[in-house]
A and B are shown apart, each in its own frame.
Chain A
Amino acid sequence: MLQRFLTAGALAIALPFCAHQACAHEGNGDKGGRIVDAGPYHIELVTKDRRVEVWVYDAKEKAVSPAGFKGTAILVVGGKPARVVLTPAEARLTGEAEVSLGANPKGVVQITGPDGAAASGKFN
């Protein structure tokens, strides 16, 4: 009996470790964009024509209010960099580029949190 308890206990302790190590974050997000790490956050980038939208999540994929955030997206379009300033709007950071961005432009999104710390995520 004691052994069973021990086994169950060990399983209960060991499983969360394994689960934590198996989790993967990068990929596609709920909004149809790409998700990458940016410092303590995860950010999702959605580009539609000239519009850039960035959603900010915390480490547990919970949406973070963009209030107090600011950001800059530098995306490579047709061999030229396009710099887009992002401002909070509703539940996301958004900005308008000067040229059409295409489907999945590569580039970097830098966000600065309310505490002034900047973090950037790279989209390939």
Chain B
Amino acid sequence: MSPFRLPAASRAPAAALALLALPFLPARAHEGHDHGAPQPPVSKTIAPRGEAASAAFELVAIPRGDALVLYLDRFATAEPITDATLEVETPDGPARAEASPDGSYRLPAPWLATRASKDDHLDLVVTVTAGTDLDVLPLTVALPKAAEPKGAEPKGAEPKGAELKGAESARAGHEAGHAGEGWLHRLAEGLTGRLSARDPGAGLAAAGGFVLGLAAMGLMRAGRRAPVLAVLVLAATLVLGATAFAHDGDPPETRAAFVPPPTDLAQRLADGAVFVPKPTQRLLSLRTQVAAEAAFRRTVSLPGRIIPDPNASGVVQSSVGGRLAPPPSGAFPRLGTKVRAGEVLALVAPPVQRVDLSDMRQRQGELDQQIAIVQRRVDRYQKLSPSGAVSQVQLDEAQDELKGLKDRRTALDRIRQEPEVLTAPVGGVIAEAAAIAGQMAAPGQMVFQIVDPGKLWVEALSFDVLTPAADATARLADGRSLPLAYQGAGLADRNQAIPVQFAIQGGSGGLRVGQFVTVLAATDAEQSGLALPRASVVRTANGQDVVYAHTAAERYEAKPVRVAPLDGTRVLVEAGLQPGTRVVVQGAELLDQVR
């Protein structure tokens, strides 16, 4: 026999118990008839208020003295609307709420003072016109508790009387309407409430009474009168003492004295949700976004480095060894100087060795001697040539020879005096300069590096082959991100990876060559989820990633989520969030600081 099978006799009571338990189960589908959402716990330090929302607007109303202060925001983005028209249907007829300089709306409400003291809520209808959007919002405002008449019963049994929010009071009213159909229902709700509250006092009292009763029964059976009396007296003392204590501990005056006046403070409620009043929301500039599910390409993140565009950068090297000298302008270009292509950056004067020098002098002397001889010959021929004694051919040859010798002599001078001119191969900015006047430059040594800061590339190391069409972004350490365009990938292996090059699209200001970036490149694999800005995910103290969902006008709930990187600015929420949730995308860090 299976251990789970019960004998037929005990099966029926089991079924009966199960059936009885059904209505007490907390999960209740109550379709179509909103008796009020499960009321969020409220704090005693929050003033009574009311809220209403539609697809376009979110409205919060707070009674302040003899006026009603209204805050209007866009529903989806939580952006304050300060230039709307609010027509309110009040007990005294329609009235218009005037915009205040602080972004709220103020409705004079003399009817707040004259209301009946039993009213704990007020039903208003607000017609909101903002630009082309128009909506009519029913608004239930909870009212501050009126001064209690003297001798009224302490409201011990109704601990949340004053803080009933609009929805709850509406629900209370509604349930009164349902009174005829469900005293049993209410009894059941009361019992489940007590049990779920796990009041230790009630349990202890019940257990104590049971033990005392047992003792009394036992003693009576034993036929002893005196101990029975003693036990009964003990029981009576305990019960009376407890009631006296209960009254002592909860006198209405002291309670009133110790309850601080409601001041709206951002606070973390007992259930972990965060209450942020509208003025604070505006101070923190909280903004939300409705999360929508979509398919996104998976991205891989690659370590990358900024490199100059190979076609828009260059190095200036000396081809000969020599002494560096500033260009004719007088000074070497400094770092960061803009240079044009072809601009002279430095001069290199090659040194002439001593042996070379003597060789050159010797050659120079020879040339000078030959030039003198040929010069004399040319002179003589020029005198004789008109008489026909020397042919014209001889004269021409002598002249050519003289010219050739003079050229050689000039070249010899130039080699001794003229330095090598170093010019900029491309236009750009001097990125590196190693020139000092008088320094001896080795052949092939880089003297300047020129980079065009408007044309920078990123070289990343990828472990798998990226598709050429894949779009990519680069994320900098400071959170900025740059769009990238794929340029090409190498095939030669480098550190078990291949280098992939991207051109930075748009502005590349503030970047430097060699800076490390994280490249996020899309791959072919698609994944679905909710894309959210990176700033909306907050890491909590226990290391979990959470996003804050805007569940009610002034209530935010932290939702633990699993995120995957999507691109430079967004993350993909893979689990933990329902589509359609309003998620805080701006100011989430500040919201997380609320204690």
> 3 nearest interchain CB pairs?
A3-B12, A17-B23, A40-B177
Which residues in chain A, 51-95, are within 8 Å of chain B measured between CB atoms? 58-60, 72, 74-76, 79-81, 83
Q: Name 16 interchain pairs, CB-CB below 8 A, sorted by A.
A: A7-B16, A10-B17, A20-B185, A40-B177, A59-B178, A74-B127, A74-B136, A76-B136, A81-B134, A83-B94, A83-B127, A110-B138, A117-B123, A117-B173, A118-B123, A120-B123
The reply on A23 being an interface residue by CB < 8 A is yes
The reply on B91 being an interface residue by CB < 8 A is yes
Chain A contact residues, CB within 8 Å of chain B: 3-4, 6-7, 9-11, 13-14, 16-18, 20-27, 37, 39-41, 58-60, 72, 74-76, 79-81, 83, 106-108, 110, 112, 116-122
Q: Are B33 and A26 in contact (CB-based, < 8 A)?
A: yes
Q: Smallest CB-CB separation from A62: which chain B residue?
A: B180
Besides A17-B184, A122-B136, A122-B138, 9 more A-B contacts (Cβ < 8 Å) are: A7-B13, A17-B188, A21-B28, A39-B173, A74-B125, A74-B127, A80-B134, A116-B116, A119-B123
The reply on B174 being an interface residue by CB < 8 A is yes
Q: Smallest CB-CB separation from B180: which chain A residue?
A: A60
**Residues of B contacting A10 with CB < 8 Å?**
15-17, 19-20
CA distance A18 to B30 in the complex (A): 10
CA distance A33 to B125 in the complex (A): 21
As a 0/1 sequence over residues 114 to 130 of chain B, the CB contacts with chain A under 8 angstroms (1 = contact) are 00100100111101010
The reply on B98 being an interface residue by CB < 8 A is no
CA distance A42 to B483 in the complex (A): 57
The reply on B132 being an interface residue by CB < 8 A is yes
CA distance A78 to B108 in the complex (A): 30
Q: Are B89 and A110 in contact (CB-based, < 8 A)?
A: yes
Q: Are A79 and B29 in contact (CB-based, < 8 A)?
A: no
Q: Are B12 and A6 in contact (CB-based, < 8 A)?
A: yes
Q: How far is the CB of B390 from chain A (nearest CB, A)?
A: 114
Known: A17-B22, A79-B134. A26 touches B32 (CB 8 A): yes
The reply on B182 being an interface residue by CB < 8 A is yes
The reply on B31 being an interface residue by CB < 8 A is yes
Q: Smallest CB-CB separation from A111: which chain B residue?
A: B123
CA distance A14 to B185 in the complex (A): 10
Which residues in chain B, 345-367, are within 8 Å of chain A measured between CB atoms? none
**Residues of A contacting B178 with CB < 8 Å?**
59-60
CA distance A16 to B12 in the complex (A): 20
Q: Are A9 and B16 in contact (CB-based, < 8 A)?
A: yes
**Residues of B contacting A121 with CB < 8 Å?**
138
CA distance A90 to B123 in the complex (A): 25
**Residues of A contacting B31 with CB < 8 Å?**
24
Q: How far is the CB of A57 from chain B (nearest CB, A)?
A: 10
Q: Are A120 and B138 in contact (CB-based, < 8 A)?
A: yes
Q: Are A14 and B89 in contact (CB-based, < 8 A)?
A: no
The reply on B143 being an interface residue by CB < 8 A is no
Cβ 8 A contact of A13, one of B20, B134, B138, B182: B20
The reply on B420 being an interface residue by CB < 8 A is no
**Residues of A contacting B176 with CB < 8 Å?**
40
The reply on B102 being an interface residue by CB < 8 A is no
Q: Are B12 and A39 in contact (CB-based, < 8 A)?
A: no
CA distance A112 to B122 in the complex (A): 11
Q: How far is the CB of B455 from chain A (nearest CB, A)?
A: 52
Which residues in chain B, 314-332, are within 8 Å of chain A measured between CB atoms? none
Known: A24-B31, A76-B135. A14 touches B125 (CB 8 A): no
Cβ 8 A contact of B32, one of A16, A25, A110, A122: A25
Q: Are B23 and A14 in contact (CB-based, < 8 A)?
A: yes
**Residues of B contacting A60 with CB < 8 Å?**
178, 180-181
Known: A6-B16, A14-B22, A108-B138. A23 touches B116 (CB 8 A): no
**Residues of B contacting A25 with CB < 8 Å?**
32-33
CA distance A4 to B9 in the complex (A): 10
**Residues of A contacting B30 with CB < 8 Å?**
21
**Residues of B contacting A17 with CB < 8 Å?**
22-23, 184-185, 188
CA distance A56 to B304 in the complex (A): 70
Q: Are A41 and B177 in contact (CB-based, < 8 A)?
A: yes
CA distance A10 to B184 in the complex (A): 13
CA distance A9 to B8 in the complex (A): 18
Q: Are A81 and B9 in contact (CB-based, < 8 A)?
A: no
Q: How far is the CB of B456 from chain A (nearest CB, A)?
A: 52
Q: Smallest CB-CB separation from B91: which chain A residue?
A: A118
Q: Smallest CB-CB separation from A122: which chain B residue?
A: B138
CA distance A23 to B33 in the complex (A): 8
